[in-house]
Structure 1
């Protein structure tokens, strides 16, 4: 029964599929899993900073919002895949890093992760261009590329601010700052 359903699903997807290569589908599946990896990493970071022995509510909130944003990105790509007739394949999400020395350590890790996610997006765009898929190029440009650059800049700025502070008091003040400002704008979640 399961095989019959899978065959029917593939046939339906093929009917609506146009100019959407298997290699682009595979690359988008990789991107979904990259976004979910970032989601889990930011969730681990958020709850590290929520621990009683760390108690940094601003940083907790910052990374919690980042986690939700990455999950939203994964869902956006999945909706797009369904529109294009692709098949979604969720992979295993690697275990996130769960311990950080301080806010600086976590922010540096976050910046490295954002650079990795951005490189994956650039690779998707390059492949879509090579495969002559302007719709996929437009989707990546309209929904991800500028946001990635903006997010990297904010993380780099936060790291620089903490470098200037270089103390537990600096971490405390930075945490208080994050309670009122952050890289994540209040957006309505689409359901």
Structure 2
């Protein structure tokens, strides 16, 4: 009898995790829990545990997108007139924005929801807020740092999804497919721009070097 009692409790606990059980209960003559079908959702795997990390990564991409957009307008005004830098940062802004939108769609596809109050996990320094005071060289350094932060966070979430107690291969695959390769390319490009521009500044007059490099950016974007 004791065995049957324990078995019945375990059976009820397991069955409560399924949508079919919820529907069956809701449609019965004596429905429990107000007839709610709480398990009739798209959640499975470790999405409930990883959801907060994904939400904070969305907000990190949105924040980075607006920073790049502000940098783009800074170099695109009539005083700076750097169309190459303007185009570069506008492109990076659009990429981060598109990444954020795609990640929101993925969260909802997995049965989660977006929380815009979930702050990014990494913090930016006070100097990072002085976007309108950046020179061309400093802006490249800031852009590189921002993309590296996003890349490191993507790797951290990927690692979490792979080594969680209830591994979620789908989250790991999504992060790898949509973020790691793309971000590594952006980091590589910005690192190359930073070093090429630094070398150009050391060999020529600064104003000429900035003009030539801006023209180069404008043609390659």
Is 2:146 the counterpart of 1:120?
no
Classify the secondary structure of the residue corresponding to 1:49. helix
8 Å CA contact retained: 2:47, 2:112: no
Matching residue within 142, 150, 153 for 2:185: 150
Aligned to 1:105: 138
Matching residue within 65, 69, 89 for 2:91: 65
Counterpart mapping for 1:1-191 below 5 A: 15-91=41-117, 96-131=129-164, 132-166=167-201, 167-182=206-221
- Give the Cα separation in 1 of the matches to 2:90 and 2:67: 10
- Give the Cα separation in 1 of the matches to 2:52 and 2:81: 41
Output one character per residue of 1:120-162: Cα deviation in whole Å (capped at 9) or x when no partner.
1111101111220000000011111111111111101101111
Two-structure CA RMSD over aligned residues (Å) = 2.0
- Give the Cα separation in 2 of the matches to 1:177 and 1:71: 25
Runs of 5+ consecutive residues of structure 2 not aligned to the other structure: 1-36
Larger mean Cα displacement after TM superposition, 84-93 or 114-123: 84-93
8 Å CA contact retained: 2:162, 2:172: yes
Query: How much has 1:59 moved relative to structure 2?
Result: 0.7
Output one character per residue of 1:28-59: Cα deviation in whole Å (capped at 9) or x when no partner.
00100110111011001100101211110111
- The TM-score with structure 2 as length reference comes to 0.73
- Max Rg structure: 2
Query: How much has 1:106 moved relative to structure 2?
Result: 0.2
Higher relative contact order (CA 8 A, sep 6+): 1
Aligned residue pairs: how many? 172
- The TM-score with structure 1 as length reference comes to 0.84
Runs of 5+ consecutive residues of structure 1 not aligned to the other structure: 1-10, 183-191
Classify the secondary structure of the residue corresponding to 2:76. coil
